[in-house]
Structure 1
Amino acid sequence: MNEEHLARIQAIAEAALLAAGKPLSLEQLRELFGEDERPARQVMEHALMMLEQSCEGRGFELSKVASGYRLQVREEFAPWVGRLYEEKPQRYSRALLETLALIAYRQPITRGEIEDIRGVTVSSNIIRTLLEREWVRVVGHRDVPGRPAMYATTRQFLDYFNLTGLDELPPLSEVRDLEEIGREIEQNMQGEIKFDSPDGSGASPDSDSESQAPESDQTLH
């Protein structure tokens, strides 16, 4: 395949990623082409590698997440780009971040198990917010009296936090407690501006009765 044809595949992929409004998988990018011109997987991967290299030194980058590939503003430029939008990202409550961290590290996990570890009641608003954002989902029910729902993270959770898999979460051995895990997660969402979500937020504070609870050093075991 000549360089001109490869460059055209790269340009088509770039245009599609700019217009898609969501990550696109390798197969979705290949399916943009007719059967008689569809590039092989290796060729498509090479075109994406060329696109990634062409973004070097520019204000945006090609990022691979769980759902595929997307173009996004580089984190270092987020403070300036964010000024284009009147609505500013709002911070999540510590309670929500800790609940999300426990689901991410201990999945599948029930609400009762989260409460046992945190030592406080989990607000229904927090669970509802995580479900509405499609960061967590119900994956089954624990075979105990009451059959409580078991929660796990989703592909959308990985996409939002710029991860391709759960193995990219900071190891527990490097994280001291739930509050520190919450800060790690919050740092990952700071300044995240994707071309499909210009304000980079989608966030709203979630206050609940847990904000009244004393600060404790809960540790994951």
Structure 2
Amino acid sequence: MELKHVIETILFVSSKPLTARDILRILKTTAEQNPDHELAANLAKFSEKEIETQIQQLAAEYEGRGQGFKPVCVAGAWQFATLPEFAPWLRTTLGGAKPRPPRLTQAALETLAIIAYRQPITRAEIEQIRGVNVDAVMQTLLERGLIEVVGRAEVPGKPPLYGTTEEFLQYFGLRSLDDLPGAQHLRKPAQQISQTTTPSSQSHTEKEPALPLTESNKTVQPHNTNTASLPNEPLVANANGPIENPTPNPSQPDEKVPSS
């Protein structure tokens, strides 16, 4: 594996243009986080000037291949972009596509993890586990099509039960709910599903793990390796080439319920 190939991969998945200094910082950080990785240690020894030279060589190679995209320099930084002559097909392909919605907040990801592992589940049960009001978060997840009402609990008032949707599986790149990490021991027991109780009579107060905050990438790189978590959000390519991997801010506060 050459430095050029590593640079190519970094530029391909980056959501923003990167300078040679940015890439050098990534190489050094990778070496620090993987002290036993010999290649990572060797790549971190390259200079900023050498990295810039490698990027320019990479750009020249793409130019000679005649491909539909290539590395381009934007304000001193590099990113992958499609060539202008392919714009008509890209407009047709993406013309009807809706803009990618904003990233899910940490509060939304934590709530979604609880629903994914404990479904079907009522809003009150979710609030008992999280310890905060989830009205605004639930509304966001419903609007994004990641959860839906799947039934009614057999308790007074018959509150709606929530579960995940096919959109949820697509969003996180899962074939089925069976692909959830640790799903077998985190998912609600069958007898608890058939006899849903009110939050006041529910015996467990276990707090569910949050979704991974670093990507992974994928591919799965949990925020806390001691707890199970959902896969990172999927890589999403845009028309200009860069690929974005959403990374929620763990310090972001819970969403607040809008005042009526």
Q: Which has the larger radius of gyration?
A: 2
TM-score range, shorter chain: 0.3 to 0.5
TM-score, normalized by length of structure 2? 0.40
Q: TM-score, normalised by structure 1?
A: 0.46
Which has the bigger relative contact order, CA under 8 A and spacing at least 6?
1
The structure with more helix, counted as a fraction of residues: 1
